[in-house]
Structure formats: structure tokens, C-alpha cells
Structure 1
């Protein structure tokens, strides 16, 4: 490995691109004695496991002791044994059941194969059986699963929501009668809208279980995040004090050498222009070189289309170098592949016939692929958690591993290359979910009523808003109120299925179907707001490697019509926004400036898409603009905002374009939001205005991008001082003069990044934090 790193340093075309290096030392394994059932012990020994790591033992003992458990250790640290051993023991002793929930079917299939093999090793007479229950099974296959009555059932949150809870009393009574353990794997994935929905699904699960006198323990497996216990408590509805945290891995690892890699700037752009060559192209060249040097390598990239395209280009590059065998061992891995193809690639990685992959984050989760020699991150994946999850795929036992982070040109990537300690020494981000979201909660209350009658005590699951939600549904005729000997009861009054009328992946109800000419089945569906942005007439829409142009958007029937195109441009919408403040909830002075007030508020954001730009795919140059006539949308959500005193406003106005300055500061602060919290950059939005009617002052808003909010604005309000300080640090470190994609420009700006004034933004933030 050292020779490869030296070789990379010495290549003339890589000169100056290694911005920073770090070597994270490995560690020796630490084991602990655990008394196991002899049959379980024999099965593990047959699988080559003759000792348990200390963290596995700690988690097993905590589960045996009746605690809820959060196991937050790195990739490939053997988390599955922490729940498998108790699950098998409980099934052997008394046929108690375990429900395993994971966010992806691929992960369920991987776990089911391993657990089924172990269950077979226990023998038929043991009574331990494993089955999966997912949407990919036919009705007949699902019925056969129920008839087999497995003791370990693996499913997705979606199938739990649609296919199990609604039929608990009729089809699954045998399972809930004996339910003792619920495993939530990859619990860090349950954040934002998805996490808020899952938090309410688990409350419905608990409610159904207790109707059967079951009170299951929760075992939550997580990547390394900043708030594992608090987040697990939010998702499960359990008290944080009920959880035992196991977060120190005792598995053996070798040293990992990190290279932080910056693609060169465009020739002719001038040093400090901020425009850099594509991270995809740079990652491809690095990937091909590593394969040629014998390193089995995976590139993690941003999208399915990128993975497919650059896997093909990488194979072509290897063939041009005469490496035909290597080229045949290159593939692309992403969630849209057939399950058979995914299994082929996973097996090929484990066995060595696949030498390199381009992958989306679908391979980031706990699917078993063995250990790699190297991982290349094609752009910072957005969070430190994801970066280390992906990097954790590199490493064979105690052998050294290489991880190269090839930066993109945007703010987060360039900030980390300028401040590498922020990647390696900062605490990981916190996961956020909000089961009290007023747009999501009522739907789950109605679903719960469909599953079993409601009573006043159900506020233990649904919180203080539960009585008001029930009263609203009763008034609307969707719940019937009854008085029984046990007290008041509400029953579902409808004929349909509330579960099937909502999606766990979004907070919006209205969706637009994307229909391509020449195809019978739709290629996708989009939430209404996303469709106005991405599927308006004239939009270029990319799907699984194919480019389409939207020829029509029929909002009467909620259908967008697309046709294939080979356009060399992309499109970006232009919009106008305004925010009305409905209710100020809290306020405080800025942490370092008493005359600046920060508030947390309920707001409504009104958005009008006015047109779009066509931009050259390679240069980003504007090729033309068109107007659009689309309906206004509104978003009721939560925002933090701060106002500037008149004296500060007047001083900033002397420094340059004041409106451009507050606009630039807003962009920059939003860009670093994911540095503190597990979210995507599009999960938060902003608005800056020299005068706002609610405050009568210069005001900057940062709002949660989901109806009702998922907790991002609240957490930003608490951390406003740190957010502003880090943003100022990022702006000062950027070498550009006027503002660039690495500091203040945003690819999502509805005003085409006009106006922006980096100098005034620095003046504003320095006045706030210094």
C-alpha cells in the first residue's frame, strides 16, 4: 500500500492535487467470554466464529438483561450477532419471535441468507425458522410465510406499515402473541420525513403488540452518529434511559490511509476562480490506476446514472491500456438493478472476480461484500457519517487500506479540504426526526384506528396532540365514537385503507406520474412540488441513464409526458419566494451579539416558479431562458430567522451590494447545515430580504424544507452560533475573489445566483460572531 501511495504522489499529472493526508491507526481485536447455548455455539463455530468481540458480548448481555440496546459501531464490526444470538436463544427456549426491520430489500435478503443458514444448522427440531416478508413476494408466497410461522421475520418499514400491522389481529396473531424483540437495523437511515414516518409506525407497532400483552425490546443498529441514544429513543418512542449504548468496536482493523484529493482548476480560469474539473473524471482516473496496481476498489458516487456511465468509461479506459481481463471485472452497483444482478456483483466482490465497482450508497449499508483494498469517494457524500460508512468498506482484516476523497467544487467539499481536521476530529452529525409533525401524525392516528380501536390512553403513543386529532376526525365522520364498559372508544368509520393512502417516503399527498412516450408503464412518480421543479414543460429529466425532455405537464390529471432526447444541456428553474411568519415560538439574542435577535417560528413559504434556464452541460453557460405559467405552491413549516440592527445594515451597505451580501450569507449558511445535522442540502431552504414586513428590518430566514418540519430548523436555532462561525471560516478560506460554487453560489438558487456579494457576506458574519 505504501508503494501505491508513493506512486500516486509521484505522478506528474497528480501534482498538487493531494490536499491533505491522514493515517488512522488500526487496532487489535478484543474478545470476551459469553456463555452460549451449545447448539448456537456449534452453529457459530461452523461459520468460523469461535469467539465474540467484546462489543458483541456487551450487547448480547444487555439484551439478555432486558434493556433496549443501541449498537453504534463502524461498518463490518459484526453488529448482526448482537441480535442474532438472543433471537435464536429465545426461539429455542420458548418459540418467542423476533421482528427484524431494515430500510432496503437488498439488506434483508443478505441477512436472511445468513440467518437461514444458521437456523438450518440448529436442525429442524429446534423450531428456529427464518423468513423474509417483502413487497417482492407474490400473494401465494406471502401466505406460505404466514403458514410457516417463522420465529425470525425480516421485513421493510413499508411492508410493516402496509402488509403486517393492518392485518395483525387476523393474520399475524401468532406472531404478536410471542413477539419479544424488534431489531431496527441501519436506524441512522430513519431521519427526516422518512424517519418521522417510521417513528410513528413503531408507535403503532408497540400499540398492536401491547394489545397482545407483548412488550418487545428494541435493538437498534446504527452507524456512528452524534446522538445514537436520543435518536433511537425518538424513532422507537421509548425513554432514552431504557437504552444501553454500545459504541466502541473491539474488532480488529488495519491502518487506513486517507488522501483528500482536489481536482485541478479549469485551465484559463485563473487560480482562485473556484471552478474545478469534475470529481467524476478525476475519480475515474484514480480508480483505473488503482485497479492496474492490483487494488480491488469501489467508487462511491452520487447517482445511478453517474455509476453506470463511469463504470462503462472506466472499463473502456482499461481496454485502451490493454487490460481486457480487468475491464471485464468492472461493474456498476445501484438499487435499480435486478436482485440477481446485485447478488452477482456482491458475490464477485467477495470472491475476487469483480475487481472494481462504481456504486451508489446502496452498497454503503451492511450487505456482505468482504473487505476491499481501496475506496474512492467521488465527492464528499454529504455527511461525515456516510463518508466513514463508505470508507469502512476498505480493509481486509489487519491489512492496510486506502481511502481517497475526491472533492467536488461545492461548499462542503472545499471546506473539508481546507479544514481536514473537521473531517477527522469533529463529532459526527446528529440524526433528526419529528414524530410530532402535524402533517404526518394525523394519518398515522387514522391508520392506528384501522388496526385497532383507539382509546384516550393512546396519547402515550401519539402525544399531547392526540385528543385534538381524534376530535377532528370524529367531526369529519372518519372516526365513530362509542362508549363501552371499559370507557370511550373510537373506531375507524371508513371503507378504505389509510395505510395505502400515504407514503412513508414523503410528507406530500399529491403526486405527478411521469409517462414516457412509447412506454406502457410510468418511469417514475414525483411529489407535486418536486414535479413543478423537475418536470415542468421543457425540463430535461434524467432516469437510469436516459435523458428525457418534458413535453407536457397536465395538472388536471397529474401526468407529465416525456420523450427521449440527446440534449447537451440541463435545465434549472427560476422562482420567486416570500415568507409570512404565522407565529413566533421562541426568541433569543445571537450568542455573540446582543442586538441581533434570533427567532424560531411557524411560517408559510409561498413559491412561484416563473421560468427556467437552459445551461450547457459541460460549462454551465446559460443558453437561454423561458417563462412558465405554473401554480403557486405553499409550504407550512418551521424556520429560524434573524434580523439585523439598523446600524449594522447601514455599515454593510457601505461595503458593497447589501442585498447580494445577505443573499450570499444565506446560501453559505444553508450549504453547511449538513455539517451539523444528518440531512441533504435540499432539505433546508432560505430567503433573505433587505426589509421584511413582519420585522420591518433586514432579515435572513432558514426554513425546514418539509411540511410541518422535521426538526432541522429547531436544531439550527439551537446551534446558530456554531453555524455562523463555521460559515465565516469557510468563506475566508475560499480563494476566489467574488464568490464561486465552493463558497456562496448554489445550484438550487431560484434567482440564478443573482445578486451575490461575498465581501459583504464576510462582513456580516464577522460582525455577528466576532
Structure 2
């Protein structure tokens, strides 16, 4: 059974249709292409063509051009729209033309750092270039740190390590700070509130040290769709930025369904358990062998749902290892194996906390089920964006809990869909 057939089946079932408060259908959109800018190094262009990239999306070309003009940029496009290439392209191009150039990448999590390292390594190997790229975080062996300081062209780290392991020891990072051309800050929508103010102060320290060593790096920021990305980026880096938000990536048809479980106690306003409802709905997709991701609000809920779905899988004669949980606390090797399994299509269903909400490359799945409102509109779109290949139909299903915020969102869909994240 295909996803389209499952959607038709759900529409026709009175017990499901009675609990739908809103069904939004987002139309597909074709890609907008742009030729490689003339400044792109031939080796980089050839490597991209080996990966099957014959042209750039319009926002990637626009970002490259703005960076080439010496501007700080913030790229704001949806999940899986090729933001990574928007910053890798100018960085690698600069290092190919000037091997002394250096770049610093900041990611909010170590998992995302490892994912981006693999992406960069693949491109560098195709170019057959001597561009040394390393992660520098708490897991980096002490023996490797000296080599990273002396010879790393691209240093991938996180704000905590920049604060504790790099800036206080800037005298031994001389090579980096004297030649720093780019600072890339990914997932800037993650840096809000107190965490955002900490990062803003950290970036100001970084800029003072760069000035001391005679460098003036450009900033390339990336964000999910939020209401004020240019304002946020300017506050974080303390300098003007150019906003690039015209997405050129294609999009398949997307169904976004709001589902409110039936009431079981009208006096107390209690509805059927969100965990049980998600487990019941997930069975449909498991049965049809449709790849899905379930987002849960807590680690405990992840483990409970994983157990329930594995029991369902056993009854459907599906191997238990095709249903996996994913959260902080798992060993790094175990998390990498799950990410690979999702990307290759070996895992049918994964239950995750918001650990998979950020841009870790797990391929594009067919269905995203949100077990409760994630807490913000931006996070909801991020999680929903995990479903949707570039040419096929996808489904995002928000299942509400009895919590007041969930009930407000599920009963006022116009607040969600007509409001910028």
C-alpha cells in the first residue's frame, strides 16, 4: 500500500476523520536552478558533478555571490533544501585558491558536527585536494589536538568547546586566527534566549581575538524558517547581514494533519493517551512498509513508544531491529548506525526526541508523527520537515495531548499556519 492509498483510507475512516481538526495540503513546487558562478574552482565544480550536482539551487548561487562580494549572509530555507552546500561552496573555493585560508564551523551538537565532517570529507576526496578537516570537541584525542591547531583548514566545533578549548588558548591557535576567513554558524534558530545571549558574547570575544591577529572573517549563518532571521543573525554576530530566503529547492506534495484524540473523561477534559494513539496510528505505516519518524517529548516516552512499535513489528512479521529509538544517552557509534540505517532505508521506523530535529542527514522519510506539540512553531516545522522527498508525497501528523498548549494549537490551526515561525 502506498502513502497516497493510506491517506485515502484515513480520510474514509469515520473514527479517524472525526478527530481531525485540520488537514492542510501544501502544493508541490519545482526547483529553481542557477548555473555555477564563474568564480567556482574547476576542481570543485568537477567534484560536485561527480556527486550528480550539475547546477545549483538559486539560493545556493545567491549565497555564493553574496559571500564573494564580502558580505555576511544568513541563509533561511526549509529542512533538506541544500543549506550545507551554501556554506561549503564558498569555504572550499577559498581554500582551493588560497591554501593558507582557514574556516571555523560552529554546530550546536556533536552529532551534527560528525555528520557535516563526513559530508565535507566526501567532497574533499572527490576533489583529491589536501584540505584538512577536523572536529574539535570533547571526544577529540589529546594526541590529535596539536595537529588540528597547526594544520586544520576547517575546524568543526561547538560553542562550548570554542569557549573552553579554543579562545582561552588563542596563542597556540595562531595559524587559525591569523588566517581565519570564514565562521559558519549553523542552526542559528537554536540559539535563542539565554543560550543565544551566551553565543552572542562568545562571537564578540572571537571577533576581538581575530582583530588582534589581523583577520576579519566573514560570517555565514544558516537557519530554519523563522520570523526574524536577519535580526537574530545581526544580534548574534554584531554586524550587518544579507538575508537569503528565496528557496530554490523542489518540494513534493505535503499533507499536514492535526489530530485530536477522542475524549475519555469529559468532566476532567482528559483525552486518550497520545502514546497509545501514536502507537495505533504508526501501525498503519509499519504494515505498509512506509518509512516514518516519530518525535516524542521525553526520553521516557521514546523508550515506551519504541517498545510498543517493536511489539507491533513482531506481530506484522517485521524484524525488531527495523524499529529503533534515538535519543541523547545512546553511544555515539549506536547513533551513527541508526542514522546510516535510516539513510539506507534499512530502518522502517525511528522514535526520537528532538535530537533528530536538527539537520543531521538521515535522508528524507515519508511520514513524520509528532507525539504532542514540540513547544514552538519553528520546532514543529523542523520536525515535520523530516518527512518529504523532493518529488513524492509526504505526511506530517501532529497528535495532540491533553495539555492546554496542545489543545490551543490543535483547535486553532489558523494560528499555526498563518503565523511565521
TM-score normalised per structure 2:
0.96
Instruction: Please say if residues 183 and 219 of structure 1, whose CA atoms lie closer than 8 Å, have aligned partners that are also in contact.
Output: yes
Deviations 1:727-747 (A, max 9, x none): xxxxxxxxxxxxxxxxxxxxx
RMSD over aligned Cα atoms = 1.4
Aligned partner (choices 18, 30, 43) of residue 47 of structure 2: 43
* 1:159 and 2:161 aligned: yes
The 5 Å alignment of 1:706-717 reads none
SS at match of 1:181: strand
Greater percentage in strand: 1
2:6 is matched with which residue? Answer: 4
Measure, in 1, the Cα distance between the counterparts of 2:211 and 2:162.
16
1:243 is matched with which residue? Answer: 241
2:56 is matched with which residue? Answer: 52
Deviations 1:116-168 (A, max 9, x none): 12112222xx4422111111112112223224x11111001111000000111
Aligned partner (choices 78, 82, 87) of residue 82 of structure 2: 78
Aligned partner (choices 384, 392, 408) of residue 391 of structure 1: 384
Deviation at 1:363, TM superposition (A): 0.5
Gaps of 5+ in 1: 429-770
Instruction: Please say if residues 291 and 326 of structure 1, whose CA atoms lie closer than 8 Å, have aligned partners that are also in contact.
Output: no
1:605 is matched with which residue? Answer: none
Measure, in 2, the Cα distance between the counterparts of 1:245 and 1:3.
40
The 5 Å alignment of 1:580-619 reads none
* 1:316 and 2:317 aligned: no
1:335 is matched with which residue? Answer: 328
Deviations 1:43-66 (A, max 9, x none): 111222111000010011001111
1:197 is matched with which residue? Answer: 198
Instruction: Please say if residues 364 and 389 of structure 1, whose CA atoms lie closer than 8 Å, have aligned partners that are also in contact.
Output: yes
Greater percentage in helix: 2
Instruction: Please say if residues 149 and 175 of structure 2, whose CA atoms lie closer than 8 Å, have aligned partners that are also in contact.
Output: no
Measure, in 2, the Cα distance between the counterparts of 1:395 and 1:327.
25
The 5 Å alignment of 1:318-717 reads 318-319=313-314, 321=315, 323-428=316-421
Measure, in 2, the Cα distance between the counterparts of 1:143 and 1:107.
23
Deviations 1:512-535 (A, max 9, x none): xxxxxxxxxxxxxxxxxxxxxxxx
Number of residue equivalences = 416
Instruction: Please say if residues 181 and 217 of structure 1, whose CA atoms lie closer than 8 Å, have aligned partners that are also in contact.
Output: yes
1:104 is matched with which residue? Answer: 109
Deviation at 1:332, TM superposition (A): 0.4
Question: RCO (CA 8 Å, sep 6+): is it higher in 1 or 2?
Answer: 2
* 1:122 and 2:127 aligned: yes
Gaps of 5+ in 2: none
* 1:275 and 2:270 aligned: yes
Deviation at 1:273, TM superposition (A): 4.2
Measure, in 2, the Cα distance between the counterparts of 1:139 and 1:381.
38
Deviations 1:223-261 (A, max 9, x none): 1111101111111122xxx21101121101101011110
* 1:261 and 2:259 aligned: yes
Measure, in 2, the Cα distance between the counterparts of 1:15 and 1:44.
46
Measure, in 2, the Cα distance between the counterparts of 1:256 and 1:382.
22
Instruction: Please say if residues 41 and 96 of structure 2, whose CA atoms lie closer than 8 Å, have aligned partners that are also in contact.
Output: no
2:134 is matched with which residue? Answer: 131
Measure, in 1, the Cα distance between the counterparts of 2:132 and 2:141.
20
2:19 is matched with which residue? Answer: 17
Instruction: Please say if residues 324 and 349 of structure 2, whose CA atoms lie closer than 8 Å, have aligned partners that are also in contact.
Output: yes
Deviation at 1:326, TM superposition (A): 4.7
Deviation at 1:355, TM superposition (A): 0.3
Aligned partner (choices 287, 296, 310) of residue 291 of structure 2: 296
Instruction: Please say if residues 326 and 355 of structure 1, whose CA atoms lie closer than 8 Å, have aligned partners that are also in contact.
Output: no
Deviation at 1:114, TM superposition (A): 1.0
Instruction: Please say if residues 107 and 113 of structure 2, whose CA atoms lie closer than 8 Å, have aligned partners that are also in contact.
Output: yes
Deviations 1:420-446 (A, max 9, x none): 111111122xxxxxxxxxxxxxxxxxx
1:462 is matched with which residue? Answer: none
2:282 is matched with which residue? Answer: 287
Deviations 1:363-414 (A, max 9, x none): 0111111111100011111111111111111112210001100011122211
Instruction: Please say if residues 99 and 179 of structure 1, whose CA atoms lie closer than 8 Å, have aligned partners that are also in contact.
Output: yes
Deviations 1:620-675 (A, max 9, x none): xxxxxxxxxxxxxxxxxxxxxxxxxxxxxxxxxxxxxxxxxxxxxxxxxxxxxxxx
Deviation at 1:102, TM superposition (A): 0.3
2:72 is matched with which residue? Answer: 68
Instruction: Please say if residues 301 and 377 of structure 1, whose CA atoms lie closer than 8 Å, have aligned partners that are also in contact.
Output: yes
SS at match of 2:318: helix
Deviations 1:60-81 (A, max 9, x none): 1001111100101100010011
Measure, in 2, the Cα distance between the counterparts of 1:418 and 1:122.
53
Measure, in 2, the Cα distance between the counterparts of 1:122 and 1:293.
41
Deviations 1:159-185 (A, max 9, x none): 10000001111x100111100110000
Measure, in 2, the Cα distance between the counterparts of 1:359 and 1:29.
30
